[in-house]
Structure 1
Amino acid sequence: MTRTHTLADPRVEAALSQMFARAAHDADAAALAREKLPEGFAPTTPQEQSDAAAEIYMPISAAGGQLLYNLVRAVRPSTVVEFGTSFGISTLYLAAGVRDNGTGRVITTELSRTKIAAARRTFAETGLDDVITVLEGDARHTLRDLDTPADLVLLDGWKDLCLPVLHLLEPRLEPGTLVIADDVDLDSLRPYLSYVRDPANGYQSVTFPVEDGMEISCRL
């Protein structure tokens, strides 16, 4: 007997296909964003960076998304926490896993109001909005009052903030919790990688070779 799954839902397939197609033009969107900035101005704060990148998708890969879906199905987390919604590509993979598990929720956080509005429309159109909670603002603030343990964490926002966000969440990480970070090849993620790869900090970490690489760390 063939079982269906949410990633095969035509609404989800169409949304992912459309967003990946748009993300293929990220380089053009980034160039246009730079042209719109005042001469000599370089975004420095997370909010400024977010505003400058409001039209840029910066997605995980399709293979990375499938890996996330499989991990959610296997772990069966009650609460998935995502840092960096963007337009919601990775969120859809996480939510699809939650839906097919029949239990759980995804809490995701994003700075860009433009991206939040677009992501919420997508979540409603795909029928997954009932398992997704979108928090607007800096993750260092929005996740501070998280009222439940985080059973699986995806860190895919600004790379220099991944370690501070992890530190914020650590009191809510039970042994066995998986923490996943995308884009291991980026220099700005190095402090985070140095931390989770040091066993003294309480993680067993492995790099999974999918696209730009995902670091999968298990809380010990």
Structure 2
Amino acid sequence: MVTQEDRSIGSREKVIAAAVAMVAEDATARLSVRAVAARAGVSTGSLRFHFPTQRALQDTVLARIYDQVFPDDPIQDRSRPARDRLVDCLRQVLAPAGVGEKAREAWSKAYQTFIAPDPTEEVRAAYLAMEREGWRRVEYWLTVLADEGALPKGDHARHVRFLLTVLNGLSIERALPAEESILKSETDTLYTAVDCVLNSRAS
């Protein structure tokens, strides 16, 4: 016999699965209530029952995506301080860019792809999709830490933008000639940025 609770759990999972599928198809998807409800085959009222706000839906979807894609994400290791985990997560973003020649090649490619060409709708859409993916990942990390009480809950947009700007600057530094150890200066910068975020008040 299917109980009301079973049906409730079923509709919640349908909503999450539909939203995850929408993000997988389009990284810039905004997850509007109507679109997600239609995709899930549930009413908007049912969606709102499980997720009273769009923010609640987005946070749940982010958690589901990154728990599946990055099961060993450092942000999940609660045996370590929040600041250390967040710095390690940010380092993961920088790692693929490499250092020196590899970093110069990466930035040269980015220039040829997104800066040198005329800013057509296609170029803009490609860049925004990439940026949105990075945004979602950092937002997820901050949401996890907020749920633990390491920083205030709420809209993390200001902090996400700040951390992404720091990461962009550090990735450029990796491509430039340096006199001192990149690892030391980069680590100092990451900890300074993370401390600014964790010690700030809600925006």
More strand by share: 1
TM-score between the two structures when normalised by the length of structure 1: 0.27
More helix by share: 2
TM-score between the two structures when normalised by the length of structure 2: 0.29
Compare relative contact order (CA 8 Å, sep 6+) and give the higher one, 1 or 2.
2
Q: Which has the larger radius of gyration?
A: 2
